[in-house]
């Protein structure tokens, strides 16, 4: 499954390592704020290959992941 991070960004759910609130990463070396677009970022998604900023809150992204996990479990259970 895939998760939409806002804008035109989509990542595979299996590749996600962490979803963090942007405020917890502002003083971290995880993000180079000079390279970020001028969008108002609300969360950071760390994947196997890259670190991405998202305009969607970390809570909303986690809810989307939970829905996807439930859907995948339901499909596998029904087969």
Tell me the C-alpha distance between 69 and 25, whole Å: 26
Total number of domains in the chain: 1
Tell me the C-alpha distance between 51 and 16, whole Å: 10
- DSSP H stretches of helix in 1-79: 58-78
The predicted model scores a pTM of 0.73
Domain of residue 6, residue span: 2-78
Q: What is the pLDDT of residues 4-56, one digit of tens each?
A: 998 888 999 889 999 998 887 766 665 654 445 546 888 989 899 988 888 89
């Amino acid at each position: 499954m895939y998760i939409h991070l806002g804008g035109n960004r989509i990542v595979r759910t299996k590749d996600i390592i962490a979803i963090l609130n942007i405020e917890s990463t502002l003083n971290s070396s995880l993000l180079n704020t000079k390279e970020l677009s001028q969008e108002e970022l609300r969360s950071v998604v760390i994947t196997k290959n890259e670190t991405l900023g998202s305009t969607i809150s970390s809570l909303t992204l986690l809810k989307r992941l939970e829905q996807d996990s439930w859907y995948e479990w339901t499909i596998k259970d029904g087969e």
